[in-house]
Amino acid sequence: MARARRARRPAALAALALALAGCADLDATADRNCSDFTSQREAQTWHEDHPQAGLDADGNGYACESLAGPARAAGSAARRARVIRVVDGDTIKVELDGGRLDTVRLVGIDTPESKRPQTPVECGSKKAASTLRRLVEGRDVLLRRDATQDAVDKYGRALAYVEADGKDAGEAMVASGWAKPYVYGGVEFTRVGAYRAALREAAARRAGVHGSCGGDFHRAA
């Protein structure tokens, strides 16, 4: 009997060690917050392994979105929001469900600049902003991410398609002639084909920049 108890003792000690290790892991998980990570990508990796750690404050599947380093969007799940202000032709301020505010850069388009530091106001920038304002400002929209693109840009803005009443505002901007398709880093976004078709049609009609600015989206005003 004594030998049997001695034989069971190593197994019991091993089980205790595993239990203590599990507790330590739980403590480490509980102690983690966004300041412990150097990039959003690093935080996202940790979050996917430890979803209980609380790094996804708004429950949208993306950890520590305020960090500078972008991560690829996980899919095309949409978030509801209300557009409270149009910043320029490709950037908006929104209020998400729950009252959280966010800045959104429309994925896949480029418009004449009016807000970039050390950059002169460009031809068509005011028209681009007013066109986007008519499309989305004050309206309820869906923000839909593209799995081929980053979740946030280097300025911390969320990257998303913006849809109002089922209409893609980015594609509508290209069709209006005040925006053109924009492929970042050589990685084509999912809707690039439709955007390029809209660009060809706008150019043929000499709409927007194509007629008013000689087709140059970054010419000084």
Helix, coil or strand: residue 80: strand
CA atoms within 13 Å, Cβ hemisphere of 61: 12
In sequence order, what are the residues at sequence separation of 6 or more whose Cβ sits closer than 8 angstroms to the Cβ of residue 47? 53, 55, 56, 63, 64
Positions marked active-site: 105, 113, 157
